[in-house]
Amino acid sequence: MTRSTPTRRRSPARKTEISPRAVILAGIGAVSLGRKQAQAKLGQAETLARQTRDQAEAFVRQARTQVETALAPVLVKLGVKRAPAKRKARAKRTSVRSRKRA
């Protein structure tokens, strides 16, 4: 004889009830998470904007210097700008040892 095992009847899956309290708490959690993520992204955007501004300012300074250098002779010829003053040649300093020898 074979043994027969009693078959268990499965109870229907219980549905979890969604209470208004659970919905409110989930909403509060979602808002809090969204706020934290927004603050993090805002901080990243601020850092990126600062870096971009610094790079742009450096580029403008470099371009301005190059343009002024390139246009300086033209502006002098047109009389818009004075010619740069010529630098006087500085006498070389002699060392203390060479002064003693002389």
Domain ranges within the chain, ordered by starting residue: 21-81
Distance CA 28, CA 30 (A): 5
Q: Which two tokens stand for residue 83?
A: 């010619």
Distance CA 81, CA 67 (A): 14
- pTM assigned to the model: 0.48
Provide the pLDDT for residue 18.
86
**pLDDT below 70 — which residues of the chain?**
1, 83-85, 96-102
Provide the pLDDT for residue 101.
64
Provide the pLDDT for residue 52.
97
Residue located via tokens 């470099």: 62
Distance CA 19, CA 23 (A): 7
* 72: Cβ contacts below 8 Å, ≥ 6 apart: 81, 84
Model confidence over 6-18: pLDDT tens digits? 777 777 777 778 8
Q: Which amino acid is at 36?
A: K
Does an H or E element contain 45, and which?
helix 20-78
